[in-house]
Amino acid sequence: MSTKLIAPSILAADFGNLQRDIEMVNNSEADWFHIDIMDGVFVPNISFGMPVLKTISKHANKTIDVHLMIVDPDRYIKTFAELGSNILSVHYEACTHLHRTLQAIKAEGMKAGVALNPHTNINVLEDTINDIDLVCVMSVNPGFGGQSFIENTFNKVKQLKELIIKKGASTLIEIDGGVTNKNAKALIDTGADVLVAGSYVFKSEDQPNTIKDLKAIANS
């Protein structure tokens, strides 16, 4: 079985010590940097934008997984490629022409991801799953870190895994929101490949060790 991945969410980092926190992730057993971009329109919060991502890219030495929580993401695909994004996820709910958006992301040399809000059924991806490199299953309503995990996520992961197998797709399943050592193993056993963890990592006493433990649980 392929290695299960851990992606610390920089939204929960200490922005006053951003370089320090990036180096912590660089030197940890984490696999990816998860970067949340919010526009205050698609979600009721604004996180950070291009100059901050530029700084993160400059120091980060692992895959940069960007999660766009913005309306009309097509406007910025090229910009995010130039800023060093390796994976670019757009929200299903924010795309009128999802298939076109996915092609545009790939044309810029990035992996194409689709994020689904907790209310959005997996079956909306039936006709695009073979074009999607990663599905980000939101296990909280997007907009804020530190929220509690929505249990129905397990049903969605199960359905998504079935869809991927049925269609012969190679899509990765990422879980985003409220991930801890308590639900990590069950999520992986249900079909998840990548676990995003923000508060659980950055609010812990020993961050590298928390990442190490999560990675060990995910691969146990």
By beta-carbon proximity to Zn ion, the closer residue of 9 and 101 is 9
SS3 at position 63: strand
By beta-carbon proximity to ligand DX5, the closer residue of 73 and 198 is 198
The closest residue (CB) to Zn ion is 67
Q: Is residue 174 close enough to count as binding ligand DX5 by CB under 6 A?
A: no
- Cα-flanking dihedrals φ and ψ of residue 125, to 5°? -100, 5
By beta-carbon proximity to ligand DX5, the closer residue of 113 and 198 is 198
Residue type, 39: D
SS3 at position 21: helix
Strands 87-91 and 63-69 turn out to be parallel
Residue 48 interacting entry, from ligand DX5, Zn ion, none, C-beta within 5 to 8 Å by type: none
The answer to whether 174 touches 194, Cβ cutoff 8 Å, is: yes
Q: Is residue 199 close enough to count as binding ligand DX5 by CB under 6 A?
A: yes
By beta-carbon proximity to Zn ion, the closer residue of 77 and 87 is 87
Pick the piece of the chain touching ligand DX5 (CB under 6 A) from 49-57, 70-78, 165-173, 198-206: 198-206
Residue 198 interacting entry, from ligand DX5, Zn ion, none, C-beta within 5 to 8 Å by type: ligand DX5
**C-alpha pair distances (Å), 219 with each of 62, 134, 145, 178:** 19, 19, 24, 19
Q: Is residue 56 close enough to count as binding ligand DX5 by CB under 6 A?
A: no
**C-alpha pair distances (Å), 76 with each of 29, 81, 117:** 31, 9, 21
Q: Name the residues that contact ligand DX5, by CB under 6 A.
A: 9, 11-12, 34, 36, 67, 140, 142-147, 176-179, 196-200
